[in-house]
Structure 1
Amino acid sequence: MIIKGFCHPPLSSERREAELDCSQTGQVTLRCGEHVIMASVAELQISPPLGALPASIGFADGWQFKAGLDYELAEWVRHNTIQPQRWVHRLERNWLAIVASVALVVVLGLSVYRYGIPAASHALTRLLPQAVPVYLGEHVLETLDEHMLSPSQLEAQEQWQIQDRFALLQDNLPPLPFELNIVFRSWPHGPNAFALSDGTVVVLDSLVEMATTPAELDSILLHEVGHVYHQHVMESVVQSALISVAAALIVGDSSGMADMLTSTGVFVASSGYSRDAEREADQFAAEQMLKNYGTTEPMAAMFNRFMEHYGDSELPEWLQSHPELEQRIQALK
């Protein structure tokens, strides 16, 4: 049996006409111009056809042969390779097997996204040395101070009063992974407060001005402490890193398109995770408000004030970084 096709010289993509003589049992002869190569079947590197890719024969010195008519070489390969490769090749051409495999990959991917990445992030966060979240928190605060935030305009006495009252609240808190530290800043884009990975809680002047009672301000501060308690900041960082790596591996390169897909995937996924984090922080704050004030009404009042200030978001819920404020108020009730 002589199979006509083409060959590639060693370490070259040059394509030359060739023929493979398979008439002798256990031995083949490759003829490519003036080159004649004889080898036993045991010495060959036989690559069975993979899906739509043709079969190929590799020789010990680097020459490679592919048939002009793939079925001829594929038939010879089937008779000169071990049996398991035959059913693998059949699966590669079976549409039902392909569809089932794709469905399985999708289910596994969604399961990893929904359960695997959060679980891995939760575990990895608690394995990190304490120096990592401390460094990250300090670096983030420096960056915010440089580009976004301004020094607080609150009087020093008012800051001391808030810090002293918050220090008393800490006596009733469960053990925290980091020592809490409150800092005050000014920001022109609305009332807010946020926690950093090292236990720092940044309180904006506008939030202090929005609160009409100490309990209302404390409820938001306790909410931020809930983020510290559950280490949501570091979990979000680890989650984003894992999703970025997964997206880069799927795309397979570092082009601009890959960066865009990676950034989009991180944004969408992180927005979903942060909704769960906000609910956990709400629950933590509500428990502490009941313990210290016997009610969650001050917290609900602040949420109502936030809703009046920011208005109803026009974004769909799945793209919002926080749950709907109305849902959070109902949960408090």
Structure 2
Amino acid sequence: MDQETAKKLLVEGGTFVFLGVPQETQFGIDMQCWNTEEDFRGIKMIPPGLHYVHYSAVSKETGDISPRSGFMHYFDKKEFVVKMWDKKLEDISKDEISEESIQRLKDNLLNIDKHLAPYPYEIWQKWKQLSSQITAELAQKLSPLNGLIRASVDLLPMRFTEIPKEKYPPGSTPGEITKHYLDQTYSLDLMIAQHDEPLHIIGELQFTYLCFLIGHSLEAFEHWKNLVILLCSCDKAILKYRNVYFNFIKTIETQIDEMPGDFLADIVMNKNVIYKKLRYFFRTVFVNKKKIDGQLLSLIVRFIENLTQKLKWDFTGLNDYEEDEKPVLVLFDDFVAIDEHCILSL
């Protein structure tokens, strides 16, 4: 990094001291990961803001790597955080570090400084894009109760916002049910109502993606995918929550750029639900383009161009249905279901 940035981070950056970590443990912060050396003591010069600290124990006998664990923490300027490794648990210690012990480490900082790795500043800009809407409060709300994010859902599940099972208000007529299946703004309204502000739904989209990308949580990936599907399945919400959709486009574009190769290959080769829902979303946007804010529309057009160039996706003929998108009529006693979702009165 340049001299000015280095000086600023030396003065304002946070410090994470991790004591007793065995050699060759996998340890990382945000999108960077290392195998620790014998004299490793933590990370210094951490830019103020939200960060994801993660680790995996490595067996000395077999070299097997345990599932990844970690936590999100909002580092204030000059914040000094200390954690201990528990050798029996092969995990971060649950014991609190006393203020006296923390102060002794601060007083001895000059001696331990050489054992602290500098924050990998080259990832900082990308990290800010991936986590821009995750506040400290939102990260705490969505994390498991003990704060630790695990790759295995069996250990402790996440506390993600529940996506409504019923996509329409109680007492809806068949015609109203059809409308709410075609435009799922009602479901999005219910989810946003569970947050302190609308943009927190994008914060949750970012949080779940990072728990998948960094925390290796397939549960988080499923929730991320369901959030993308919901956001792409709305009509009125695009106008109602302009700022949400502006940040949705910026966020998912960055996320697709960082998507692991095997997952991205599945999306590209099989044109899976993410491609299909984005296609549906773009179709909705262009049908309503005269009503949509010009800046948002320009952002969406650029996103389509980038997807076409990067992934070779074809978004021409958005008004035409692909073979597996064509409506299917399913007869019931009193109703007709289109695509097994949209219900119309006979």
**Bin of the TM-score, shorter chain as denominator length:** under 0.3
Q: TM-score, normalised by structure 1?
A: 0.25
Point out the structure with max Rg over C-alpha: 1
Q: TM-score, normalised by structure 2?
A: 0.24
The structure with the greater share of residues assigned to helix is 1
